[in-house]
Copies of this chain bind each other. A is one copy, B any other.
Amino acid sequence: MRALARAATAVENRTAESQQLLKELFPHTGRALTIGVTGAPGAGKSTLVDGLIRQLRGEGRSIGVIAVDPSSPFSGGAILGDRIRMQEHHADPGVFIRSMATRGAMGGLAPATTDMALLLDATGRDVVLIETVGVGQDEVEIVRLADVTVVTLVPGMGDDVQAIKAGIMEIADVFVVNKADQPGSEKLEREILAMLSLAHRPDNWVPPVVRTVARDGQGIGAVLAAVRAYMEFGGRRGNRAGRWTLRLKQMLRERLLERFAEREFEQAAEQVAGRERDPYSVVNDWLKRF
């Protein structure tokens, strides 16, 4: 556990050493089941993740959790009750939890999350849970890296089925209607089903809709069953190479920008902000350097 914690910190900080480590560990990856859990703030993702941890620990599985959600109790943004629950897991060596900081500007979060998931995979975790917030492009990139993605919704959040239609549809393998004891949950479920009846996935999988009350542990088993049904169906294995295409692009992009000193960007930015130069010419000049 201490070695893993040290390695995770190296990966988080993207040290040169961590790159060598990941390279050596890579042949040992590909065994863990990676589950992405996403949804809007307030949808109860963390409570669902907590429920999944309990269920999987009950089966004797070892677990890694990566919290990319800034509101997640796993990443430190907890209300008191959640924090107490998390304490419990921190004492269990079968559960290893890491949060990834939603870093500043550049697209470094998705590759960093991938590396962390690979580390947990290589070190023998049976299941890696990745919790992210929102429906932004960055979340989509991260969640695409998972073997299966669970999208969590709650009743009474207005237009979110509309939003999901456009953004999340392509990545949702399992839908969870959480807080299913609250008014509007049947309506939400009907809306999801209506949306699904119009959509068609290239792999012919029809994402199941599972009702949960995660706070009471209701429906957690059914979520896990749905996840496993999708994996038995074939999961995203057919598209493993597709996911690696995405990852390789991310990695290349990040490494290329390392060649520039921050000061270079800043100096050019000053000139552009002052309308002394246009940004298109600046970038063209930089490209000549490669």
A residues bordering B, Cβ < 8 Å?
19, 22-23, 26-27, 29-30, 40-44, 69-71, 77, 79, 102-103, 105-107, 109, 133-139, 141, 144, 154, 156-160, 162-167, 240-249, 251-253, 255-257, 259-260, 262, 265-266, 268-270, 272-273, 275, 278-283, 286-287, 290
Chain B residues with CB below 8 A from A241, complex form:
266, 269-270, 272-273
Given contacts A105-B141, A134-B136, 6 further A-B contacts (CB under 8 A): A30-B275, A71-B163, A133-B135, A245-B268, A248-B282, A253-B256
Min CB gap A72→B, angstroms? 9
Chain B residues with CB below 8 A from A242, complex form:
269
Chain B residues with CB below 8 A from A139, complex form:
134, 136
Among B77, B109, B166, B287, which residue has its beta carbon within 8 angstroms of that of A256?
A: B287
Interface class of chain A by DSSP: helix
If A41-B157, A257-B249 touch, whether A162 touches B273 (CB-CB below 8 Å) is no
A-B residue pairs in contact (CB < 8 Å), sample of 28? A26-B275, A26-B279, A27-B278, A30-B275, A40-B41, A40-B134, A41-B157, A42-B158, A42-B159, A70-B165, A71-B162, A71-B163, A71-B165, A77-B166, A102-B167, A135-B136, A136-B137, A136-B139, A154-B158, A157-B157, A241-B269, A241-B272, A243-B269, A244-B269, A248-B268, A248-B279, A252-B283, A253-B256
Q: How many copies does the complex hold?
A: 2
Cα separation A248 to B264 with both chains bound (whole Å): 10
Chain B residues with CB below 8 A from A164, complex form:
41
Chain B residues with CB below 8 A from A135, complex form:
41, 70, 133-134, 136
Chain B residues with CB below 8 A from A109, complex form:
137
Cα separation A253 to B268 with both chains bound (whole Å): 15
Indicate if the CB atoms of B253 and A253 lie closer than 8 Å. yes
Cα separation A268 to B246 with both chains bound (whole Å): 11
A283: nearest residue on chain B (CB-CB)?
B251
Chain B residues with CB below 8 A from A42, complex form:
157-160, 163
Cα separation A290 to B273 with both chains bound (whole Å): 29
Closest 10 CB pairs of A and B: A136-B136, A42-B158, A70-B166, A71-B163, A244-B269, A41-B163, A137-B138, A26-B278, A240-B273, A245-B269
Indicate if the CB atoms of A255 and B283 lie closer than 8 Å. yes
Chain B residues with CB below 8 A from A280, complex form:
19, 22-23, 26, 251
Min CB gap A144→B, angstroms? 8
Chain B residues with CB below 8 A from A167, complex form:
70, 102, 133
